[in-house]
Structures are given as structure tokens and as C-alpha cells.
């Protein structure tokens, strides 16, 4: 299943790249003067509503991941899970700042990226694919030690798979991901989270089996 998903997104990314090459070839054949080319470029939308939806939604998605990973030290996570969580917190906080800056520079609404606000009443983050429900978050928050490790890895795999789905949705939207920053960021999200899913799956398999309580 994961191989199929990876091949699908690779094909989508390739299609976007080929579309860009085709546009460049058409422009060169038109032999426009520099002034005419600049005028033509200025009339093209630099980004689409799908790009804005992706960046805005991914801010809330990342914020929930930061919230989940931030519980590791206080919930008795193993050293291996703590190290993973530290990497997730640092990396996704940086990416939240990048996405907020991208939206701000284009005068688009900028969602709040504060992890503590992710599941509060009246939150301005829609539920994106893979995000945990309030019940799942509560279950994770109540777990300790090896139980926390198991729930965290299980739910973060779900969370990452949702992020990959968001990339697929972006790439399938007409005209989306032509902005170089959006395209590169989406490609990085797909590559990084696919790699982490594989890593977390192996960590989950290595955990001791659950002993039924009597």
C-alpha cells in the first residue's frame, strides 16, 4: 500500500514538473520581447486557492503534531520516541513559521499555529486528513510509558498519512503547486513523512507485545 502511495505521488509530482516544462517551451517558441514577457508573467496568478488551502490547513495539521510530540517528556516516553518527538517539534515548528510567512506575504489569512489551541472550542483549524479526534487526543494524553509509545506511534503514522493525502489533493488540483515554494514544500512533506512512516512502523513493530490485564 505504501509503495503504491509513493508511486502515485511521484507520478503526480512528475506531471506537475512536466507541465511546467511544457509552459516554458511554449513561451520560448513565442519569442516574446523581455517587456512583453514581463507583462505576460505579471498577468498570471502566482498561486491558487488550492495552494492557500494547503498551506493554511497544513499549519493546523503541523500544530497538532507539535502538541502530540510535546507530551513525550511528561508522559514517560522511551528515549527513542523522545528523540523522534524532539525532531518533529523542531522541524514542524520551523515549517509552521514558513507557511505563515508565505501566507502573510500574499496578504492571505494566517491561521494561528499555537499547538495549545489546536483542539480548543472555536479553533480556526479545520480537521485535515489524518488529524486526531478529541477522543484520540485524550487517549494519547492519558497514556504513560510504553502505552504512550504505542499510541503515539500509531496515531502519528495516521497523522503523517493524512499529510501525504493533503499533498496528493494539492497536486491533483488544477493549476496548483506552480508556485515554486509551494511545490518544493509539498514535495519535502511527502518525502519526509513517507520516510518517517517507515521508521515509525519499524519502531512500533519492535515494541513488546501488549500483555492482557487480568
What 3 state SS string does 8-45 have? Answer: HHHHHHHHHHHHHHHHHHHHHHHCCCHHHHHHHHHCCC
Give 187-190's long-range contacts (Cβ < 8 A, gap of 24+). 187/13, 189/58, 189/95, 189/163, 189/164, 190/9, 190/13, 190/164
Residue ranges per structural domain of the chain: 48-206
Q: Round to whole Å and give the CA distance between 52 and 182.
A: 9
pTM: 0.77
The pLDDT value given to residue 119:
59
DSSP 75: G
**Mean pLDDT of all residues in 20-42:** 44
In this prediction, residue 124 carries a pLDDT of 47
Name the nearest CA neighbour of 196 among 147, 163, 168. 163
User: What pLDDT is attached to residue 175?
Assistant: 94
Quick: pLDDT tens for 78-99: 999 999 999 999 999 999 999 9
- Residues 25 and 9: their CA atoms lie apart, in Å, by 24
Report the chain's mean pLDDT, rounded to a whole number.
82
The contacts of residue 114 (CB under 8 Å, 6+ apart) are 63
More confident residue, 212 or 84: 84
pLDDT in tens, 200-209: 999 999 998 8
User: Percent of the chain at pLDDT above 70?
Assistant: 73
Q: Using a CB cutoff of 8 Å and minimum separation of 24, what contacts does 129-132 make?
A: 129/161, 129/162, 129/163, 129/165, 129/166, 129/169, 130/61, 130/158, 130/159, 130/160, 130/161, 130/162, 130/163, 130/165, 130/166, 131/60, 131/61, 131/64, 131/159, 131/162, 132/64, 132/68, 132/158, 132/159
- Name which CATH class applies to 48-206: mainly alpha
pLDDT at 213: 61
pLDDT over threshold 90, residue 34: no
pLDDT given at position 212: 60
Amino acid at each position: 500500500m505504501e509503495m503504491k502511495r509513493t508511486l502515485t505521488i511521484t507520478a503526480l509530482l512528475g506531471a506537475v514538473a512536466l507541465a511546467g516544462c511544457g509552459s516554458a517551451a511554449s513561451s520560448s517558441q513565442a519569442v516574446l520581447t523581455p517587456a512583453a514577457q514581463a507583462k505576460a508573467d505579471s498577468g498570471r496568478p502566482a498561486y491558487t486557492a488550492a495552494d492557500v488551502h494547503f498551506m493554511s490547513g497544513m499549519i493546523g495539521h503541523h500544530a497538532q503534531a507539535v502538541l502530540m510530540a510535546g507530551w513525550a517528556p511528561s508522559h514517560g516516553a522511551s528515549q527513542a520516541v523522545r528523540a523522534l518527538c524532539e525532531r518533529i517539534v523542531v522541524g514542524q515548528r520551523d515549517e509552521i513559521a514558513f507557511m505563515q510567512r508565505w501566507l502573510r506575504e500574499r496578504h492571505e489569512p494566517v491561521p494561528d499555529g499555537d499547538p495549545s489551541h489546536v483542539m480548543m472550542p472555536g479553533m480556526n483549524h479545520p480537521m485535515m486528513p489524518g488529524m486526531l479526534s478529541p477522543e484520540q487526543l485524550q487517549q494519547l494524553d492519558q497514556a504513560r510509558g510504553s502505552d504512550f509509545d504505542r499510541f503515539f506511534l500509531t496515531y502519528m503514522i495516521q497523522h503523517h498519512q493524512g499529510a501525504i493525502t493533503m499533498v496528493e489533493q494539492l497536486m491533483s488540483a488544477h493549476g496548483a503547486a506552480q508556485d515554486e515554494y509551494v511545490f518544493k514544500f509539498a514535495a519535502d512533506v511527502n518525502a519526509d513523512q513517507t520516510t518517517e512512516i517507515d521508521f515509525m512502523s519499524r519502531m512500533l513493530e519492535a515494541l513488546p507485545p501488549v500483555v492482557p490485564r487480568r
